[in-house]
Amino acid sequence: MRNASHGTVRNVNLHGGLGVHVRGVSHIFDGLQVIQQADLQVEPGGFLAIVGDSGGGKTTLLRLIGGLLAPTRGEIVFTASGEMNAGESARGTSSQSTQAVAQTSSISFCFQEGRLLPWRNVLDNVALPLELNGVLAHERRAAAREMLAKMQLSDSENKMPAQLSGGMRMRVAMARALVTRPKLLLLDEPFGALDEVTRLALDEELRQLWLDTGTTAILVTHSIQEAVSLAQQVVVMRGKPGRTMQSIAIDLPKDAAHRTNMQFVSLCERVYQQMTLQSKEVARVAQ
């Protein structure tokens, strides 16, 4: 697999995300089909949101992309920046290629629960991925401090997770996900448990971080508004087993006021229509 990232985490090219192509991926877990023929495509540095019902396979699809699960059928191919026409050479069998990428830490996850280690302070939580990658103590702390400074979290570096609010915990979890300078950031309902005001603030912060780092982002969310306001394209997953519907391109000016803009509302409406299709229509509209 031709991938610009190899060797230590710090060598990862800051500017340039991974392109992700999911082709005809199905997943069967314990004899139950969870995902059927899912397709999606994100360009390097792009931002894609997956929305859909609970239990519709969104999280499973994200875990397949992240290499935590292996697809039963189909393939997931990654391309590095500038390799968009080199699809053939970048193609591997799905599970192998996902594993290979995950091992270079160029993929990061951010989960709804934050998953901070409660016995470690903020700084050591953020430094954890580097620590587990064998980065020396002073180097990983410097990198973690830099990330915390970027997110205006420096004042909290000695706090324990139990001392933080839900929103702060998620910001620390985001800092940890980004400290490895990932080329692909997978976000599983990261702000699902937060209040609306905090959520809006963190959405904006996430958008800014995505722009700054140039990473590719795939966000799984229940919120249509969140999906439309952050992503460049939205994919709806419907039915059981979950199928991906035709992707909806979002070409909105991403300024602070865009959530009240008419175009935003009509895009939300389109996503909503796909989400409320009757099941027989799902099969027809599915890619």
Enumerate binding residues for other proteins (CB under 8 A). 66, 68, 102-103, 105, 109, 111, 113, 115, 117-119, 128-129, 131-133, 160-162
- Of 123 and 227, the one with the shorter C-beta distance to other proteins is 123
- State how far the alpha carbon of 66 is from the alpha carbons of 99, 166, 197, 271, in Å: 8, 25, 30, 25
**Alpha helices by DSSP H, the chain:** 58-65, 87-90, 94-103, 122-132, 137-150, 166-178, 196-213, 224-230, 262-275, 279-285
CB of 78 to other proteins, least distance (A): 16
CB 143 within 8 A of CB 180: no
Choose between 109 and 191: whose C-beta lies nearer to other proteins. Answer: 109
Q: How far is Cα 222 from Cα 246, in angstroms, rounded to an integer?
A: 18
**Minimum distance from residue 5 beta carbon to other proteins (Å):** 14
Is the Cβ of residue 118 or residue 253 nearer to other proteins in the bound state?
118
CB of 129 to other proteins, least distance (A): 5
Q: Are 270 and 281 in contact (CB under 8 A)?
A: no
**CB closer to other proteins, 135 vs 286:** 135
By beta-carbon proximity to other proteins, the closer residue of 53 and 113 is: 113
CB of 277 to other proteins, least distance (A): 33
* Closest distance of CB 245 from other proteins, Å: 28
CA pair distance 50, 189, nearest whole angstrom: 10
Q: Provide the token pair at 180.
A: 């490895």
